[in-house]
Structure 1
Amino acid sequence: MRPQTLIDTHGRVATDLRVSLTDRCNLRCTYCMPEEGLQWLAKPDLLTDDEIVRLIGIAVTSLGIEEVRFTGGEPLLRPGLVGIVERVAALEPRPQMSLTTNGIGLKRTATALKAAGLDRVNVSLDTLRPDVFQTLTRRDRHKDVIEGLYAAHDAGLTPVKVNSVLMPGLNDDEAPDLLAWAVEHTYELRFIEQMPLDAQHGWKRDGMITAGDILTSLRTRFALTSEGEKRGSAPAERWLVDGGPHVVGVIASVTRPFCAACDRTRLTADGQVRTCLFATEETDLRAVLRSGAPDEEIARIWRLAMWGKKAGAGLDDPSFVRPQRPMSAIGG
């Protein structure tokens, strides 16, 4: 029997679940958090491995979820990650599974994650220059990320996607170099507009590097043609590079929002359902789960939360209010 879906009042159906495994990170990217870090969630507030697997199981078997993306913070910091992946891979029906990571721990974990059932990875890398990487992330770990990318590719976690954010005055001149490098290594590069989700509230729309800026820069070296297919719920607009087969994507959450086709639901590391990356309200599944509620009741509450999803994030609305949580505590 087809599970009851996570449909909202605008007719959108959520089939993609983003699961944050931790709010902690071993980088301090300037567009995400301050140098000293943040006040991390206390361990008792975090979902346990068993609770995460149970909630994902409800989503997959009762709510129509087809894809699961593990995020953070940095999900490779979660001690039980491999075991969680293995248990989710055993669900029927088996969801597609991916991981968004900064790549630092991939060299030692890629093979185990592939064996556990992970399908692919998205790795964040904003620059090819180690000195700029250290300025952006406040850590000297560029080599570790590059080695992590190699390990992911060798382990078969493909297609390996690379996510890059361009920042004014730091790496905004690197778009063509990043694309040439990605093509050389058969990675799929995706540029992401900086979003108003930094903990220090330093984001300003004026001066941000837009999708238009990125495409203009790329076209100084490459011929880009639209892939021609409707992107549907995919966040990235994709372009063929020099006629293909390589592609580059641009995720323009700010200047070209794609809310009308959004198919995502989000679960934070402390068990809160979020209907949108920019939502200001959450629904507490952790408390319901720990109160002893059966799966059917948890599914009912999850469906009710998603039913009330807003039409859009509202970044262009003068009344837009930033979410209280920063990106690291929401999950990418």
Structure 2
Amino acid sequence: MLDNQGRNIRYLRLSVTDRCNFRCRYCMPAEGVCKREHSEMLSFEELTEIVRTAVSLGVSKVRLTGGEPLVRRGIVDLCRSLRAINGVRELTMTTNGALLPQYAAELKQAGVDRLNISLDTLNEDKFASLTRGGSLADTLAGLDAAWNAGFRGTKLNAVLLGGVNADEIPALAQLAQDGKYEVRFIELMPIGECADWPRERFLSADAVLHALPELQRLPNEGVAELYRMPGWKGKIGLIRPMSHRFCADCDRIRVTADGRLKPCLHSAQEIPLRGLHGENLERALREGMFRKPVSHHMQSGQPSESRRGMSQIGG
């Protein structure tokens, strides 16, 4: 389906929970999000109906997010149900990887096509500090489990944090050398917990080009600028929501775990879907897609207009 700017909306990011087993400093408060009752979250039946309706409007790619999607009980069954929907051409998931030793094989068997795994640092102490208690060893074990389960094309997402992991850009990038992973560096956005962080924490993706001057440009893939180091098999991606807006090419919508459609991550606009079925659900989705904003309005020093943090929207 085309929105009011002629963009073809084909990509749904579907949050299945706002809970997480990590407490990443840029994403969640130290105490975690306010726990909601199970009845406040979309049921698997509701999630499946939303996806089926979105697919009827032209969506073909679905990414499951959180929080941490693997903490949602029955997540493998949900993946299996979504995979069975005719028209879902790609089913993916974003995860912190810590629970993949338990779930990777089941996710692959359930029909998940690809994984994105968050990995901001390779330093154990930094990892524990950034995640407020997470284990780097657990996430690295998750990478191995995903590979052994047959997942290929896994993307590693590293949020650029000035004064925190800028010195690790070459080491993180090197994970793409043998072609097992594509490493994507993502600019930190002033939303939620980090909306008021000092300016020096917000690092332009140009820092990657400065740290790795040998990078060779490749054609873009969606909103990602792609590069490759000479002799390397894997790719390096730059996601620039701040320094180079990619809104003109954005083809995604988001649905929160409590059933609200966000046409844009950084807009305050939310369209309630909970309790809607059939034509009413289709009408609400169609309206949200069509009225997708032209672009976000974040400027230097201005935070996101969203009233929620990333864990409450879906990363």
TM-score, normalised by the number of residues in structure 1: 0.90
Counterparts of residues 1-332 of structure 1 (less than 5 Å): 5=1, 7-60=2-55, 62-184=56-178, 186-199=180-193, 201-219=195-213, 223-227=214-218, 229-231=219-221, 234-242=222-230, 244-287=232-275, 289=276, 293=277, 295-316=278-299, 321-332=304-315
2: CA distance, partners of 1:73 / 1:210: 25
| Aligned residues of 1:199 and 1:325 also touching (Cα < 8 A) | no
Q: 1:300 to 1:136 in 2, by over 3 A?
A: same
1:218 deviates by: 2.3
Unaligned runs of 5+ in 1: none
Q: 1:129 to 1:206 in 2, by over 3 A?
A: closer
1: CA distance, partners of 2:243 / 2:88: 35
SS in 2 for 1:173: helix
Letter in 2 for 1:103: G
Letter in 1 for 2:255: L
2: CA distance, partners of 1:325 / 1:256: 23
1:90 deviates by: 1.0
1:316 deviates by: 2.2
2: CA distance, partners of 1:200 / 1:42: 26
Q: 1:133 to 1:203 in 2, by over 3 A?
A: same
| Sequence identity percentage | 40
SS in 2 for 1:304: helix
| Aligned residues of 1:31 and 1:203 also touching (Cα < 8 A) | no
1:169 deviates by: 2.3
1: CA distance, partners of 2:201 / 2:136: 26
Letter in 1 for 2:94: T
Report how many aligned residue pairs link the two structures.
315
Moved more, 180-189 or 160-169: 180-189
TM-score, normalised by the number of residues in structure 2: 0.95
SS in 1 for 2:274: helix
1:208 deviates by: 1.4
Moved more, 166-175 or 239-248: 239-248
- Post-superposition CA distance 1:261-296 (Å, at most 9, x none): 110011110111110110101000003x2xxx4x22
1: CA distance, partners of 2:200 / 2:15: 30
Unaligned runs of 5+ in 2: none
2: CA distance, partners of 1:25 / 1:319: 27
1:28 deviates by: 1.0
Letter in 1 for 2:185: F
2: CA distance, partners of 1:74 / 1:321: 22
- Post-superposition CA distance 1:7-30 (Å, at most 9, x none): 211111210000000000111111
1: CA distance, partners of 2:294 / 2:231: 36
2: CA distance, partners of 1:32 / 1:319: 18
2: CA distance, partners of 1:317 / 1:31: 18
